[in-house]
C-alpha cells in the first residue's frame, strides 16, 4: 500500500513538472540590443537653449527589442530606445516592415523612448522640418534613416534568439521622481513640488528560459530623463539603470519602458554623479521587485491599437496672431510666423491631430497600456484606479511623441505641460492648447480596447 501511494505521489510530481514545462514552453521569447550612439558629433535634442553640437560620449545609447510569442499565433514586438522621442513616421514604417518581414502584426509593435535629453535630434524625412540650421536637419534625417534599418534588423535578431520562456510580473517602488509643477503667486513654476501627484511604481516583467535562467528584464518608471543637460551623449538615469541591471546579471537584456512622466523630474539633478545615483536607485528597486511574489503571466496575448483624434481649443484669429509678432520671446514669434504661413497657405489652422493608443493584454494576468506623447502622471493614476481589478502597467512616450499630453486638470491649470510647451514642437505645428476632452478621448480608447 505504501509503495502504491509512493508511486501515486511520484507520478503526481512528474505530472506537475510536465505540466509546468508545458506551460513554460508555450511562450517563445527572444531579445536583442543594438548600439545607436551617433558615430560623429551631432546636434542634441531636448533643450532649446543648446547652441552647439555634441562634444563626446558620457555613456552609449541603445535600442533594445523583445519578441513575445504566446504559442497560439499571437506575437508582439516591444522596442525601447535611449532617445528623446519616437517620430510617428519612424514608428509606422518600422511596424509595417516588421509585419511584412517577420509576420508580427503592425498593431502589436510598440516603440517606447526613454526621453533622454542627451541624445541626438531625431527626425523623419516627411516631418514638418522648421529648423533654420539645414545641417542640423540633414544630420537628424540621416540618423533616423540609419536607425530605422537598425530597428528592423534588431527585431530579426530578437526572433533568432527566441527560446521557450516563462514570464512573471513584479512590482516595487522608487522615490526620486517628484512633481515639477510648483504653484506660485506668479503661476506655475518648473520646480520641485512635493505635494504634487506622483507615481513611484516600478513595474517589472521578468523573463527566464526553460532552465530558469534570467534572459530579459523589462522595467518602468514615470519620470523625465532630465537629470542632465550636458553636451555629451548619455542615457541619463534610465541608461545607467539598465547598465546596473545588466552588470548584476551578465548576459541579460535590461529594457527601460518610460511611464507617464510628463510632469515629473528626477531630483536632485544637474550632475553626472546624480544621474548615476538615480540609475542605481532604480536598478535597486528592480532587484527588490524581483524578490516580491511572482505573478505568473500565462494568458494569451492580445494586442490592439487605435487611431485617436484629439482636438484643439478654439484657434487664435489672424489678428491675434499678428499681435504676437511683437513678442520679445523668439520662440513665440517664430511659432506665430509659422502659424501665419500655414493660415495663408491652407486657409485655416490645424483643428485636430490623430495619434495612437495601444494595449497588450496577457490574458487576465497583465495589462500593458502604451499611451502617446509626453503623457502626464494623471493618466497612469487614473487608469490604475479604474482598472484596479487587474495588474496594470501604464507607459507613456510610446509610438508617437508629438506633444505634451495633458490631463483635464493640467490643461485647466495651464503652464508648460498644459499648453505652454507647444511653441517648441517643430515636427507638428500646434495652433494652441488641446481641447478639454483630450483626456476622455484617450482614456475611452483604452477602455474600449480592453472590453472582452
Give me the mean pLDDT over the 53-59 stretch.
97
189 with 108, same domain?
yes
* Whether pLDDT at 126 is above 80: no
Rg, the chain, Cα only: 23
Residue 289 confidence class, pLDDT cut points 50, 70, 90 = very high
- Kindly state whether residues 138 and 216 are assigned to the same domain: yes
**Is 361 in the same domain as 332?**
no
DSSP string, 223-238: S-S-S---SSB--HHH
Distance CA 140, CA 127 (A): 11
CB 49 within 8 A of CB 125: no
| Same domain (yes/no): 293, 320 | no
Per the domain annotation, does 21 fall within a domain? no
- Average of pLDDT values for 183-194? 96
Q: Is residue 433 part of a domain?
A: no
Question: How far is the C-alpha of 237 from the C-alpha of 258, rounded, in Å?
Answer: 11
Same domain as 363, residue 320:
no
Q: What is the pLDDT, as a whole number, of residue 427?
A: 84
Terminal-residue alpha carbon distance, the chain: 50
Same domain, yes or no: 344 and 221 = no
pLDDT at 124: 74
Residue that is written with C-alpha cell 542640423 in the block: 136
The span from the CA of 431 to the CA of 227, in Å, is 30
Q: Does residue 16 fall inside a structural domain?
A: no
Tell me which of 170 and 452 has the higher pLDDT: 170
Q: Is residue 47 part of a domain?
A: yes
Q: Do 276 and 326 belong to one domain?
A: no
Residues 345 and 381 in one domain: no
Q: How far apart are CA 421 and CA 305, in angstroms?
A: 27
pLDDT band of residue 12 (cuts 50, 70, 90) is: very low
> How does pLDDT run across 204-253, given as a tens digit for each residue?
999 999 999 999 999 999 999 999 999 999 999 999 999 999 999 999 99
> Mean pLDDT for the chain?
93
How many structural domains comprise the chain? 2
Q: Which residue segment(s) compose the domain that 327 sits in?
A: 316-349
Q: What is the rounded distance in angstroms from the CA atom of residue 358 to the CA atom of residue 109?
A: 9
* Shared-domain flag, residues 253 and 339: no
Look at residue 308 and give its three-state secondary structure.
Answer: strand
Same domain, 204 and 245: yes
Helix (H/G/I), strand (E/B), else coil: 368: strand
Whether 50 maps to a domain, the answer reads yes
CA angle (325 as vertex; 322, 328 as ends), nearest 5: 155
pLDDT per position as a tens digit, 142-185: 999 999 999 999 999 999 999 999 999 999 999 999 999 999 99
**Cell 505568473, residue located:** 296
Residue 252 included in any domain = yes
pTM, rounded to two decimals: 0.93
Q: What CA–CA distances, in Å, run from 137 to 140, 141, 178, 277? A: 5, 6, 34, 34
Name the residue with cell 522648421. Answer: 130
Is the residue at 246 inside a domain? yes
Residues 48/424, Cβ–Cβ less than 8 Å: yes
Pairing of strands 264-266, 177-179: antiparallel
Query: Is there a domain that residue 426 lies in?
Result: no
Are 215 and 323 in a shared domain? no
Tell me the CA distances in angstroms from 179 to 192, 198, 222, 443, one per residue in order: 6, 6, 10, 22
Share of the chain above pLDDT 70, in %: 92
The greatest distance separating any two alpha carbons of the chain, rounded to the nearest whole angstrom, comes to 97
* Residue 393 sits in the same domain as residue 279: yes
CB atoms within 10 A of CB 398: 26
Exposure on the CB side of residue 412, measured as CA atoms within 13 A: 6
Amino acid at each position: 500500500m505504501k509503495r502504491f501511494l509512493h508511486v501515486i505521489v511520484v507520478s503526481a510530481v512528474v505530472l506537475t513538472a510536465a505540466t509546468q514545462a508545458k506551460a513554460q514552453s508555450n511562450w517563445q521569447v527572444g531579445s536583442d540590443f543594438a548600439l545607436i550612439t551617433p558615430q560623429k558629433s551631432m546636434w542634441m535634442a531636448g533643450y532649446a537653449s543648446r547652441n552647439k553640437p555634441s562634444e563626446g560620449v558620457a555613456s552609449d545609447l541603445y535600442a533594445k527589442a523583445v519578441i513575445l510569442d504566446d504559442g497560439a499565433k499571437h506575437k508582439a514586438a516591444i522596442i525601447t530606445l535611449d532617445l528623446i522621442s519616437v517620430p510617428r513616421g519612424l514608428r509606422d514604417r518600422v511596424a509595417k516592415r516588421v509585419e511584412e518581414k517577420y509576420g508580427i502584426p503592425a498593431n502589436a509593435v510598440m516603440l517606447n523612448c526613454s526621453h533622454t535629453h542627451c541624445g541626438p535630434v531625431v527626425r523623419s524625412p516627411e516631418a514638418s522640418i522648421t529648423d533654420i540650421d539645414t545641417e542640423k536637419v540633414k544630420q537628424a534625417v540621416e540618423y533616423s534613416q540609419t536607425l530605422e534599418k537598425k530597428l528592423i534588423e534588431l527585431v530579426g535578431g530578437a526572433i533568432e534568439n527566441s527560446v521557450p520562456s516563462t514570464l512573471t510580473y513584479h512590482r516595487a517602488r522608487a522615490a526620486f521622481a517628484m512633481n515639477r509643477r510648483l504653484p506660485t503667486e506668479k503661476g506655475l513654476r518648473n520646480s520641485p513640488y512635493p505635494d504634487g501627484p506622483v507615481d513611484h511604481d516600478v513595474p517589472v516583467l521578468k523573463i527566464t528560459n526553460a532552465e530558469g535562467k534570467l534572459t530579459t528584464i523589462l522595467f518602468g518608471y514615470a519620470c523625465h530623463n532630465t537629470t542632465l543637460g550636458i553636451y555629451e551623449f548619455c542615457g541619463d538615469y534610465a541608461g545607467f539603470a539598465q547598465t546596473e541591471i545588466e552588470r548584476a546579471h551578465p548576459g541579460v537584456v535590461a529594457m527601460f519602458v518610460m511611464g507617464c512622466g510628463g510632469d515629473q523630474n528626477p531630483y536632485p539633478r544637474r550632475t553626472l554623479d546624480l544621474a548615476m545615483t538615480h540609475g542605481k536607485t532604480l536598478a535597486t528597486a528592480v532587484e527588490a521587485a524581483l524578490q516580491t511574489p511572482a505573478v505568473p503571466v500565462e494568458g494569451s496575448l492580445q494586442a490592439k491599437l487605435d487611431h485617436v483624434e484629439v482636438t484643439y481649443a478654439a484657434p487664435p484669429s489672424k489678428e491675434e496672431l499678428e499681435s504676437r509678432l511683437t513678442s520679445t520671446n523668439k520662440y513665440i514669434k517664430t511659432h506665430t510666423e509659422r502659424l501665419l504661413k500655414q493660415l495663408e497657405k491652407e486657409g485655416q489652422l490645424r483643428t485636430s491631430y490623430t495619434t495612437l493608443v495601444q494595449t497588450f493584454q496577457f490574458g487576465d494576468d497583465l495589462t500593458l497600456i502604451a499611451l502617446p506623447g509626453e503623457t502626464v502622471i494623471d493618466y497612469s493614476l487614473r487608469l490604475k484606479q479604474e482598472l484596479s481589478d487587474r495588474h496594470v502597467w501604464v507607459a507613456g512616450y510610446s509610438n508617437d511623441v508629438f506633444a505634451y499630453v495633458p490631463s483635464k486638470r493640467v490643461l485647466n491649470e495651464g503652464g508648460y505641460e498644459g499648453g505652454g510647451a507647444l511653441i517648441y514642437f517643430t515636427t507638428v505645428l500646434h495652433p494652441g492648447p488641446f481641447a478639454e476632452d483630450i483626456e476622455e478621448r484617450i482614456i475611452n480608447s483604452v477602455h474600449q480596447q480592453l472590453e472582452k
